[in-house]
């Protein structure tokens, strides 16, 4: 039990903080840069991401280990649809303002790069429990940055916090645009790297080696590669 | 040991010269707008120096005020904004210029974009109502650039002499065409190579102004059409770019031919952006776009030329053999 706890703690420290999905691995930054313009939006995105990633990783770990990679990709998008569409319906009915401000980025989360990378790199190679832990660790890292970016942009961009006006702060609307989001991510990324250098210099190599899939893996992921190989085998 | 001096790196006088040049514009601005302009200028310069000091501390570089880059950023930012703008606007603009454009790239000569242009562009996006609102008794608050871009008849009401001396609405230090032309003369004397950039930029803008006027006016040689061409050349950031941005030493190419192409490219981008954008003057955006695409354009244009030259030199030897 203590080993499991230590493992979860280690995974959260490594996957959530040291190799943060947004600041270090630069995965899934599109919704962060474009849609996280307020705390509420960030919260809504966090809920969708959490449901989608946990479901995907657990499902991939349980059933997809022996399925070819190009089929798995399609299954991830199906899981994405199963999660995102009901959430969209709920938002449209009960919080139309959030739904409209998230715009196209909510349906786009059907095929999230965060899901694909974590399922492919981790879930299909590990047990269900470890995959679940990995999902939790990545989600903590991802959602914390999502909320931080949403908060900073809401305060500085529109001069509000949770929709309430802050006196003496005149919003800089440029920060609500996607380029403003990228600026905020850049600043947070620099601050994160500075913290790593200051507190854990031995872990610096961890943030400098990025997530890369092997070229051969990429080839195998394509449908054309699979079909060509099938024909080759048949002939 | 006279030989020692040969190896000593010559210190650039570009930014100090430009800072002195700005004092002329500041004087004109104070004369036209009152002490508000001086206040804005002072706040902007002090904040730019303070931010640069903090930025240098963050990246552990030695802070050098002698290179005058921080003064250049602060001063030019204040002169590009209206005199009546709230004091926090130049401060935010300088913070953006230094913390997000200058400091992350290391130091003065490493930033790929003009810091001042980036700061002003950011504020133009965030607060267009503050950046492009001018107060003047002369033409009721609308600048020449605005009336030219909207095609309003205010242009005909503007006195050309007023436009030359700067008694028209516009950015606090950029309305006086006479002063700007004087500064161009300073550039010619002190930095003759940089003047190539300015000249090619101004000629491109002139051609653009003639073409745009020819499209809208019936007779290109009528007094009104010539007046509009003059106003197009004097209005907005045209002269400001020619003096301060296209010549900026840290970003300008070094070879003469490259300088000509650089000036032409900035001119073309400026004319196109002014026609397309919703802002009355897209000068800062044009500078940033040129900064972004110039390295690729330079590589493409001059690589192709080099290849052609190589082919031309190879051909005769082949024929001989």
pLDDT greater than 50 at residue B91: yes
Are the C-beta atoms of residues B148 and B235 closer than 8 Å to each other?
yes
Whether A85 is covered by a domain: the verdict is: yes
Task: Select the more confidently predicted residue: B213 or B314.
Answer: B213
To test the contact with chain A by mutation, choose from B57, B125, B130, B285 the residue with the greatest count of A C-beta atoms within 10 A, namely B125
Q: What is the DSSP string of B261-321?
A: HHHHHHHHHHHHHHHHSSSS--HHHHHHHHHHHHHHHHHHHHHHHHHHHHHHHHHHHHHH-
Residue A1 domain-assigned (yes or no): no
Distance from CA of B78 to the nearest CA of A (A): 18
Among partner residues B100, B104, B126, which is closest to A172 by beta-carbon distance?
B126
pTM for the whole structure: 0.81
Please indicate, yes or no, if residue A3 is contained in any of the structural domains. Answer: no
Q: In the predicted model, what is the mean pLDDT of residues B95-118? A: 86
Domain holding A213, by residue range, is 8-234
Give the number of domains in chain A.
1
Q: How many residues does chain B have?
A: 321
| DSSP characters over B23-50 | HHHHHHHHHHH-HHHHHHHHHHHHHHHH
**Is residue A78, in this structure, part of any structural domain at all?**
yes
Looking at the partner chain, which of B88, B104, B126 has a beta carbon nearest the beta carbon of A174? B126
- Across chain B, mean pLDDT equals 82
Give the Cβ contact number of residue A149 at 10 Å: 29
Give the tokens for residue B215: 């499209």
Work out whether the CA dihedral B182, B188, B189, B194 comes out positive or negative.
positive
Quick one: which of A50, A56, A209 has its CA closest to A143?
A50
* Adjacent-strand bridge partners of B174: none
With cut-offs at 50, 70 and 90, classify the pLDDT of residue A162.
Answer: confident
Rounded Cα gap, residues B140 and A194, in angstroms: 51
pLDDT exceeds cutoff 80 at A194: yes
Please answer yes or no on whether B104 and A173 come within 8 Å at the CB atom.
no
CB contact (8 A) between residue B100 and residue A177: no
Q: What confidence score (pLDDT) does residue A144 get?
A: 93
pLDDT score for A109: 83
pLDDT at B315 over 80: no
The answer to the question of residue A209 being in a domain is yes
pLDDT at B316: 52
CA dist A114 and A171 (Å) reads: 31
Tell me the count of A-B CB pairs closer than 8 A: 19
Contact B126 A183 (CB under 8 A): no
Q: What is the mean pLDDT of chain A?
A: 81
B residues 101..120 contacting A (CB < 8 A): 104
Q: What is the pLDDT of residue B119?
A: 92
Residue B135 has pLDDT above 70, yes or no: no
Q: Quick count: other Cβ atoms within 10 Å of Cβ A65?
A: 12
User: Are A172 and B92 in contact (CB < 8 Å)?
Assistant: yes
- Which residues of A are less than 8 Å from B90 in CB distance? none
| Complex ipTM value | 0.76
Are B126 and A175 an interchain contact pair (Cβ–Cβ within 8 Å)? yes
Q: Out of B88, B100, B127, whose CB is closest to A183? A: B100
Residue B118 distance to chain A (closest CA, Å): 12
* Residue pointed to by tokens 């030695």: B62
**Residue A161: inside a domain:** yes
Instruction: Give the minimum alpha-carbon distance from B126 to chain A in angstroms, rounded to a whole number.
Output: 5
In a domain, residue A2? The reply is no
Residue A147, classed as helix, strand or coil, is helix
Over residues B56-71, the pLDDT tens digits come to: 988 888 888 888 889 9
What tens digit of pLDDT does each residue of B238-271 get?
888 999 999 988 888 888 899 999 999 999 999 9
Query: Three-state DSSP class for A155?
Result: helix
Q: Domains of chain B, with CATH numbers?
A: 12-295 (1.10.3430)
């Amino acid at each position: 039990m203590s080993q499991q706890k230590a493992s979860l703690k280690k995974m959260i420290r490594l996957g959530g903080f040291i190799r943060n999905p947004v600041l270090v691995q630069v995965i899934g930054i599109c919704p962060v840069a474009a849609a996280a313009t307020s705390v509420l939006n960030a919260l809504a995105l966090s809920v969708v991401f959490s449901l989608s990633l946990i479901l995907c990783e657990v499902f991939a770990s349980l059933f997809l280990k022996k399925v070819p990679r190009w089929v798995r990709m399609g299954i991830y998008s199906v899981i994405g649809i199963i999660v995102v569409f009901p959430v969209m319906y709920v938002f449209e009915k009960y919080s139309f303002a959030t739904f409209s401000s998230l715009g196209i980025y909510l349906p786009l989360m059907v095929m999230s790069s965060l899901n694909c990378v974590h399922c492919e790199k981790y879930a299909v190679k590990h047990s269900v429990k470890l995959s679940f832990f990995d999902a939790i660790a990545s989600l903590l890292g991802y959602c914390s940055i999502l909320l931080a970016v949403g908060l900073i942009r809401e305060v500085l961009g529109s001069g509000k916090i949770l929709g309430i006006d802050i006196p003496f702060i005149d919003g800089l609307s440029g920060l609500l645009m996607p380029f403003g989001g990228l600026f905020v991510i850049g600043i947070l990324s620099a601050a994160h790297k500075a913290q790593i250098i200051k507190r854990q210099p031995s872990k610096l190599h961890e943030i400098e080696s990025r997530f890369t899939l092997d070229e051969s893996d990429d080839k195998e992921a394509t449908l054309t590669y699979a079909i060509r190989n099938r024909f080759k085998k048949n002939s | 040991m006279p030989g020692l001096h040969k190896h000593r790196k010559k210190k650039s006088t570009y930014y100090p010269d430009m800072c002195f040049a700005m004092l002329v514009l500041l004087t004109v601005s104070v004369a036209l707008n009152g002490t508000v302009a001086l206040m804005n200028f002072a706040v902007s310069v002090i904040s730019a120096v303070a931010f640069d000091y903090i930025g240098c501390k963050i990246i552990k570089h030695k802070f050098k005020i002698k290179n005058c880059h921080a003064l250049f950023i602060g001063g030019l930012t204040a002169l590009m904004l209206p005199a009546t703008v709230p004091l926090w606007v130049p401060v935010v603009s300088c913070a953006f210029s230094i913390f997000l454009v200058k400091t992350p790239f290391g130091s003065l000569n490493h930033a790929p974009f003009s810091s001042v242009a980036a700061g002003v562009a950011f504020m133009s996006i965030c607060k267009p109502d503050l950046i492009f609102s001018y107060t003047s008794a002369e033409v009721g608050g609308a600048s020449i650039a605005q009336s030219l871009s909207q095609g309003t008849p205010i242009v005909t009401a503007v006195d050309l002499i007023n436009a030359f001396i700067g008694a028209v609405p516009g950015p606090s230090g950029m309305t006086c065409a006479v002063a700007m032309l004087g500064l161009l003369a300073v550039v010619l004397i002190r930095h003759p190579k940089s003047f190539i950039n300015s000249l090619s930029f101004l000629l491109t803008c002139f051609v653009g102004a003639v073409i745009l006027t020819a499209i809208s006016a019936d007779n290109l040689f009528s007094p009104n059409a010539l007046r509009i061409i003059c106003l197009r050349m004097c209005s907005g950031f045209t002269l400001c770019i020619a003096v301060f941005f296209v010549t900026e030493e840290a970003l300008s190419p070094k070879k003469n031919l490259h300088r000509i192409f650089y000036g032409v490219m900035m001119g073309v981008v400026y004319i196109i952006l002014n026609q397309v954008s919703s802002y009355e003057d897209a000068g800062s955006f044009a500078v940033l776009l040129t900064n972004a695409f110039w390295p690729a354009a330079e590589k493409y244009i001059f690589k192709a030329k080099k290849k052609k030259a190589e082919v031309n030199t190879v051909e005769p030897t082949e024929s001989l053999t």
